Structure formats: structure tokens, C-alpha cells
Structure 1
């Protein structure tokens, strides 16, 4: 365990490796913009911290609403150095969502870009902030005169403690409206270092960050992990699969972290326009089911190793991770073992007792990585973290005698059909091996006879036609008949969170509203 802060890890890196390249700006089209050494990045972060310290008091919150830019990284480090709490906001948010996060987080300032993927962010901010007197300033990140403005002489910055709040990260919204998880400096810095180390990152490696910085994987593992291991971070402004594959080739990328939907898009781009991926050594993925078939395809296409992570925003974010040295079964069928200094237990969701080895229960965690709590939401915090300090993830799984964990599904996603518990992940794992299916999601919906029935949402591979009889045969090859989906819905694309996770609650709600009636496979 280290006692560094978010700002401290950059200062330490600049002192040890001042002339090493730290950050490379990759534009959406794949072209390269600015480059920063560790010394340059630290100098700019210190200058911005002095500016912030003249405008905000220690402990105040400032929000960042932007895609991945060097200014994002600078503000993350500068806010930490100034003793401020950074609130991260999804750049896809609309007015209602932005207003909620700014109000709920008690942000005093908003730092943004003018637009992102056609979203008129500056216009939305003007509308929202006119009704939020708590917001003292709205700063365009591209306006460096305003960004670095000094409102008086720089004060002596107070000491920041590793256990102080560093960020408020809002949950990804796969099950509804987000809650703000308050994360400490200690949890973010250590979690990032442990995860990147288990990934096999080495000093001088080039790491390509395609994950959004508003997400814990992007701003924690990606940025803080890269800095602590003295890597070279290529920051993609937005995820565009063709540009990402080009960057892997031109920047000789060794490490990539991406959710499964991104990896599928990268494989499809690579199939259309092959790129040289010989430099790519390791891909990390998680945030959703990672099917064994996808791992096999990636290793064959890119010639790289693969590591799976599991966690959530509330755990900063990683709880478990596989290793390249694990056996094939452990690498493709489990989510690995707990990362260092983290306790895991599988608990009966009914009585909270520790489950037997191999029995299904809720995955619970205790340790430095747990959030300090949900922002201004003590009731939700008490429901998530019990009196003994165990954080209840809401995910169901099993653990073997060696500590390897397998995911069986979400507690809330579990389908009870005719009194039998069914787990969507098991059905999804069976379906994704079908050669004509690119992506799949399974949900349960109410049924008057069975209580709930299974609905499968499918995205076919290009130029393929799915047949119900063929799909049924495929599922029943591996699973009992009751687990066969009752209805099959064909989609061109899935509703996703900003971090690339499939929003199952949206699928369920739209199905029940009849929105997919014309897309049922018959």
C-alpha cells in the first residue's frame, strides 16, 4: 500500500523521470496533437492548482464535463493538489442529467468543452447553471486564459491526506439513475497501481486509453496507474475503432483497456482494414460479461494476452483480476482473484452468512478500495456497506478454494421462472458462442404463468440471418430447456452507458412498452 495522493503520484513521477514522455494527445481522427513529458505535465498541473486555490476553498467540489483531453488529466491532478474534490460528468448527459449531478454533488464550478459528438454542452450548461446559484463559474477548458486565471496571489496549499475525498464518481446507470460514490486518494491510487501491475505493465510501456475519463477505469487505472508505473499514456479523445486500431500500429501500443463492446468493434474494424498489432502485449477488459469466445478471437487476431477485471465504481473500481500466468480455464471462465489488500467473501443474500465453497451468493468486499459512501445519501450507503464494513456489490458469483471467482449474474437481474433461479450471464455465455451472433443481452420480464420469462436481445454479425429453430438448438446443446429464451429480439445496436455497458433496464422497459414488437424473431 502507498500513502500517495492523486496529485502526489504525478509529482513523484516528475521527480523520478522528468524527461520521459508521459501523455500523448490523440485526436478523434487518430492524428496526434500535444505531447507532455512528466516534468511538463507536473509543471502545468502545479500552475493550474495554484489558480484553482485562488478561486476555491479546500474541500469544495468542481465538476468536469468533457471527453478525454490533456486538460482533463491536468484538472484531475490540479484539483487534487489544491485539495478540491473532482466531480466527473458523462459528456453525453443532457440538461436534466447535468442539473442533477451538479446539484447533488454540490459543485461550485463547471469545467467543460463546447460540444461533444454533436451534444451542445456549452448551450446546455448556460441553461442549467442559470438555475443553479451554487455554480460560481463555468470555464471552457480550451480557454486557457480563463482556465489558469489567478484570482489573487497563490495561497499556501494545505496538505492533502490520502484518506481525504478525491472524487465523486457517479454510477454508470445500467439499472437506473446514478448515485455519487465518494472515492478517496488512497483508494484510487492504490487500486490503479495494483491493477496495472497485475496487467503486467512495465516502465516505458505505451498504454492506449480508450475508456472515457469520467469513468473510474479511465481516470484511475488509465491515468493514475500509467503515471505510477511510468508508462507513456496515449489518450484517445473518443472511442473510434478505426482510429484506435491505427493508433495501436503507429504509436506501438503495448497495453489497452476496453469494455467488450469496444473490443468487438475493434475486431470488426481490424477485419475490414488489418493493422500491425505486433506491439500489443496485453488487453484488459471488464465492466460486462467477457465471453470466452471473445477472448479467443482477440488473441488470434491481435496475438496478445488478456486479463479480465471485475469491480464497480464503488470499489475504485477493481476487486478481482486474472493474470497472464493463470491457466486457460481460470483466464476465460473466472474473473480472477482479489487484488492485493482486498478481502472478498461470497454471502447468502438472504441471511448475509458466508456461503460454502462453490455456492452461489452475493460478492462482498472489504478494504481500502471501498468508497467512503454515497454523496449525501446515508440511507443508500447503509444499504451498500454493512456494519462490519462489507460492501455488497449486488453481483452474484461463486468462489473456489483457491479464491478464484466466477460471476453468475446480478442479484437484481436474476430471473425466477416457475420458482427456478436463472442467471442471464449463463444464457448469454451460451448464446455468444453462436457463429452468427455479435452481441447478446438477456433479461427477465413478468409473465402471468411462469412469474418471469427469458427474453434474449441479439445483434447479428453482418450479412447473417438468424433462425429461431437454430438458436433454440444452440442453447439447448448446453442448457436445460427452461433456460431457453421465450422471445428473441434482433437489434442493430444496444442502448449503452457512457462507459460502454449495455443498459438492460432500458431493454426491459422498451420491451414492456412494446417498442420492439416489430423486431421479434419468429
Structure 2
């Protein structure tokens, strides 16, 4: 049965059923809160959002690693109806400006910094009016819709609310006012916008409803056999569906404990699993590889592990086997999906045969229709025949924010989401993903579309043309290779080009391999043959790796 509850109603119900069960733990900070306390905290923060003047449907962007304030904001906005817009922690100035503009965000919640990048300096550069502006009534020429900025700190910055100042706004809102706001919400309301890159270049805002993410989280947890006795270690980022849906929402719908790692480090994860006696662990394959290959791996006790999810990019069979046999997560599952599907479409179950759990992405979730079609004829194909995977059901996004054309391209008139991925259905109903129609590159669980990187590199004054493709990589699954044509008389080295990218575009989008050429393989009609470039790239990467 689908739940048809808002995020707030779901958390209230969980807190009522499991009031003294630990809701979340931050091992590094020594913070522990029960579901009763978590429910109360998020009620108070929801009142603060209301007191600050934020209305139902207003867009609140959030930019930080997995801090407690992020977790509380996810559920507090879910209670009072603001739409949480998630921001990639790796974003630099140009990417943040685009997201804030495109999303019409009125409010930005941010951490002070991330891995040496000062978020404060970036927002001050984008909005210099902060230095003379009034908190809560910003007038930023470059970002005219942005009115409020809140920092996850009690350190004072011009024009920015401290976290304590923000929390104080709760005093201006009554409990009855919050209840009225919650009653006015509907499970079909959009509550989350997550940005995902597109083949046409810039990221698109995927609009997800309460129904989308609450039910997807519920079913994900069911497939893991989660209960209130489970303790789920979450080292994957909250800004991604992996963190906020497969992690937070799956745990909260089942009364499980979230053991949260702010920033992934293999040793921190192993320590948390041991000390907190975690029964479940999430991660992209590269995270599990880093944990298994850590020099101190053997000294940690991971015997309490039972389940978890490996997803985000193709999961190597040998890594799955090691997680099952060496780490002890004998019931670990694999998920497949995309942000546009809230995100999980198919998943292996905790009790599926190991062969299926290491070689397929499982079966479609309940209440989800799946078909595999010939991408040319659009006709459904027989089992055993590769084709494009399409999905339909409660989980499909409401659309891309302010992009009806892209929405129509992704979802057909019958409600089918066309994933662009090539899949094969076996005789038992299990699905194997064998490739992608689109050019998307998945590096360490991060989706990268070549066009976005190409558009950035085009801005370099020495570059005439550039094509970006993915090449296989043992550590990250895929790496980027850029094929660059320079303007006449221009000279540029690969390292100079990489240096020009640093601090201006996310590090995971900077090409590992760069090759300078005078032309590209072309069709007779003048189209670049990217598949030939990809074949050439693989050979070049293999030579460089030797």
C-alpha cells in the first residue's frame, strides 16, 4: 500500500511509534537524538521557517555537507511546505549562480566551507550587496529573487543570519499556526527540487513530491528489511537522492537509526560501523572499495552489518562479493534508478539469491510499471532482448522546473519516463543494465554530462572546439577525457588546462585525460562520431595507465 502522507505526517507517525528509539547519531560530534526529540526539533525549525516569512511552495536552497542542520531542514521544510532545493557540495561560483537563478530560490542555507572552498566568499562574490544589506531583505542585483541567507554557524557575517538568529524566529510562530500549515499540505505537493545534469548542457531541476520520496523511501527500506532495530550508516551526500531518500527517508519511514558521516572518509565509516554497531551501510562502489582497501581495515569489527545499498554507478561483482563475505553484509542490496524517478525503479531484495544480487539490479518496485522498448520503433521487446528501460507510476517526477520541453522529452504522453538506459529482462523478471543511450558519464556515483563540461571548456580563449567522453576507470568507474582543438597559433598543455578549471568547475568534472587534435572523426553529414572518439579514448587511457 502506498502511504499518501506528507513528510511531516510520516515523521510524526514514526515518532509516535518509536519515541525513544534513536533517530540520528553524529558519532564525530557526540550528538544523539531520539525520534521524539527529532520530531520536536523539526517542529521548532519549521516554526522558524514560518517566522522568517517563508511561505508554502517557496524555494529554499541548501548547500553543505551532511550537517545536522541539513537533516533538520529536510524534515522541517517538509512540515511547513517550503520546497528544499539541494545544491551539490562541489559547486563553484558559476554553478551556484545558475542554480539559484534557475530555481528562483528566495533563501539560501549554507555551510561556511567545504574541502577548502569558502562558501561564504563565493556568496559574497555573487552578492556583494551583503556587506551593506539588511538581513532577510537582501537586494542583490545578480540574484534578484534571493532575499535571505542563513549560515550553519553562529559566526557573524554581514547580511547573513546566524543559525541561532534563524532558530529564534520560531518564537514568533505558535504550535497551532504550524498545525494549520501542515493541514494545508497535500502529499502530491512538490517538496524537493534536485538538480541533475542534462544532455543539452545545464542542470535541470527535478521536482519531487511528498508522495514521490516518502513512498520510495518506504519501499527501499522494505527491500532491505529495515526495522526500528536497524542502525544505518549514511556516508553518501544528502544533496543526492542516495543520501536524502535511500538514506534518510528509508530510515525514518521504518524507525531506524541514522548514523551520519558528514564527509566520507573510509576510516570514519569503519569506525562508526564498529562503534555504533551499524547493521546497514550505504555507498557507491568506490566507497566500499576504499573501505575494503584501507590499510587499517582488518582492525575494525564490521560483524554487525547485515544489509545496505550499493548503487550510484555499476557495481562490480567482485566488490559485491567482498562486501558480502568480508564485511559481513550478507543481505546487501543493489538499486537502479535516476533522480527523475525519486530515484529507485528496481532493487534486489535482502533475501534474493546472491547470484541475482551481484549480477542484476533486481526487479521493479511494487506500484511501478517497467517496460523495455526498441528505442527506434518504441515497441516493447521480448525478455532477453536489450532495449531502453521505461518506467511509470507514483515515483515519476512532477517534471523539470521551468523546462516543459525537457519534461516532454523525458516523459511521454502516456506517462512513461524514458531513462535512456539499455536494459535486459531475464526469464525470472530480474533486470540487467547493459549500457546507456545517452552520453552520461558516471564518475564515482556522480552523473556528469559531457555537454556541461564542454560548454565550460569552450570559454577558454585558446580552445576552438572540445569533445568530452567517458573512459573506464578501475577506481571511479569512469573518468573524463577531453579531445581539444586549439585555435591557430595557440599553445596549451593538459596541466595548464586543468589548472584553468580548478576552483571554477567541480573537481569531478575536470578531465583526467586531455588530448590535443586537429580534427574529429565526422559523418558525411558533418556530425562528430563520438563513439569513435570513445574507442580512441579507451585505447589512449589504456596506454597512459601502463
TM-score (norm 2): 0.76
Alignment deviations for residues 159-211 of structure 1 (CA, whole Å, 9 cap, x no partner): 21110001001116799532110001001000011011101212221110111
For residues 174 and 291 of structure 1, what CA distance do their matches in structure 2 show? 26
For residues 290 and 325 of structure 1, what CA distance do their matches in structure 2 show? 18
1:205-220 residue pairs with structure 2 within 5 A?
Answer: 205-220=230-245
User: What residue number does 2:311 align with?
Assistant: 286
CA, structure 1 residues 204+328, in 2 after alignment: closer, same or farther (shift >3 Å)?
closer
CA, structure 1 residues 332+139, in 2 after alignment: closer, same or farther (shift >3 Å)?
same
User: What residue number does 2:493 align with?
Assistant: none
User: What residue number does 2:525 align with?
Assistant: none
For residues 175 and 292 of structure 1, what CA distance do their matches in structure 2 show? 33
User: What residue number does 2:148 align with?
Assistant: 137
Residue 381 (structure 1) shift = 0.3
Kindly indicate whether the alpha-carbon contact (under 8 Å) linking 1:193 and 1:221 is maintained by their aligned counterparts in 2. Answer: no
Residue 71 (structure 1) shift = 1.1
Q: Identify which of 144, 148, 167 aligns with 1:148.
A: 167
User: What residue number does 1:19 align with?
Assistant: 20
Residue 21 (structure 1) shift = 1.0
User: What residue number does 1:520 align with?
Assistant: 544
Residue 245 (structure 1) shift = 0.6
For residues 460 and 230 of structure 1, what CA distance do their matches in structure 2 show? 34
2:376 counterpart of 1:350: yes
Residue 15 (structure 1) shift = 1.6
For residues 513 and 91 of structure 1, what CA distance do their matches in structure 2 show? 34
Q: RMSD of the alignment, in Å?
A: 2.9
CA, structure 1 residues 229+285, in 2 after alignment: closer, same or farther (shift >3 Å)?
same
Alignment deviations for residues 330-374 of structure 1 (CA, whole Å, 9 cap, x no partner): 121111000110000001111211112111111100000000001
User: What residue number does 2:277 align with?
Assistant: 252
Structure 2: state its 5+ residue gaps: 128-139, 154-161, 451-466, 477-505, 519-536
CA, structure 1 residues 279+511, in 2 after alignment: closer, same or farther (shift >3 Å)?
farther
For residues 255 and 326 of structure 1, what CA distance do their matches in structure 2 show? 17
Give the secondary-structure state (helix, strand or coil) at the position aligned to 2:392: strand
For residues 47 and 321 of structure 2, what CA distance do their matches in structure 1 show? 49
User: What residue number does 2:115 align with?
Assistant: 117
Give the secondary-structure state (helix, strand or coil) at the position aligned to 1:44: helix
Give the secondary-structure state (helix, strand or coil) at the position aligned to 1:107: coil
Alignment deviations for residues 452-495 of structure 1 (CA, whole Å, 9 cap, x no partner): 9x98544489xxxxxxxxxxxxxxxxxxxxxxxxxxxxxxxxxx
Moved more, 181-190 or 327-336: 327-336
User: What residue number does 2:48 align with?
Assistant: 51
For residues 517 and 271 of structure 1, what CA distance do their matches in structure 2 show? 31
For residues 384 and 208 of structure 2, what CA distance do their matches in structure 1 show? 32
For residues 513 and 115 of structure 1, what CA distance do their matches in structure 2 show? 38
Structure 1: state its 5+ residue gaps: 415-423, 429-440, 444-451, 462-500
1:349-498 residue pairs with structure 2 within 5 A?
Answer: 349-413=375-439, 456-459=471-474
CA, structure 1 residues 175+215, in 2 after alignment: closer, same or farther (shift >3 Å)?
farther
User: What residue number does 2:196 align with?
Assistant: 171
Give the secondary-structure state (helix, strand or coil) at the position aligned to 2:117: coil
Residue 19 (structure 1) shift = 1.7
For residues 95 and 240 of structure 2, what CA distance do their matches in structure 1 show? 16
Residue 122 (structure 1) shift = 1.1
CA, structure 1 residues 6+268, in 2 after alignment: closer, same or farther (shift >3 Å)?
same
User: What residue number does 1:95 align with?
Assistant: 93
Residue 147 (structure 1) shift = 2.2
1:228-377 residue pairs with structure 2 within 5 A?
Answer: 228-269=253-294, 272-305=297-330, 306-377=332-403
Aligned length: 445
Moved more, 90-99 or 150-159: 150-159
For residues 265 and 64 of structure 2, what CA distance do their matches in structure 1 show? 16
Residue 22 (structure 1) shift = 0.5
